[in-house]
Amino acid sequence: MHSKLPSFLTQPMLNWLNQYYSNNMDSIASVGLFIWHFSPNKRNINKPNRRPSINEEVKLKTSSINKNIYFHEVDNTILHVYQESGFSLAGSKKADEFIWDGDEFIKMKNLFYMIS
């Protein structure tokens, strides 16, 4: 595993990085933790809007093209992964839910997506 990774990453987070970025670890500019920020939804009051909010971040390298990965561990088997990629004003942001089945993470659903 990458020697610059922060100590606050848990084993499920390290497992996810190993599964999805084992060959491309050098492409990651920063890694960290995020929390969900909920706000009222004007169209559907039963389904609040959710936005990721960065809680903790460690820069691994500086680059004009970013690949940032942030984690939110719901429990031992459910991991939310928020990824930012591209330039700061011309990229995409997405968050997905992954479930650990004992051997690997399986993508279950998309939680958030935005093109900037």
pTM above 0.85, yes or no: yes
Q: Where are the domains of the chain?
A: 28-115
How far, rounded to the nearest angstrom, does the alpha carbon of residue 58 sit from its chain's CA centroid? 13
By three-state DSSP, how is residue 51 classified? Answer: strand
Q: Which residues contact 58 (CB under 8 A, 6 or more apart)?
A: 4, 5, 6, 30, 31, 32
pLDDT tens-digit profile of 28-38? 999 999 999 99
At 3 the pLDDT is 61
The yes-or-no verdict on residue 69 having pLDDT over 70 is yes
By three-state DSSP, how is residue 20 classified? Answer: helix
Reading the block at residue 35, the tokens are: 């929390």
Among 52, 85, 53, smallest CA distance to 67 is for 85
- Quickly tell me which residue has 């939680």 as its tokens: 111
Share of the chain above pLDDT 90, in %: 78
φ, ψ of residue 16 to 5 degrees: the values are: -65, -45
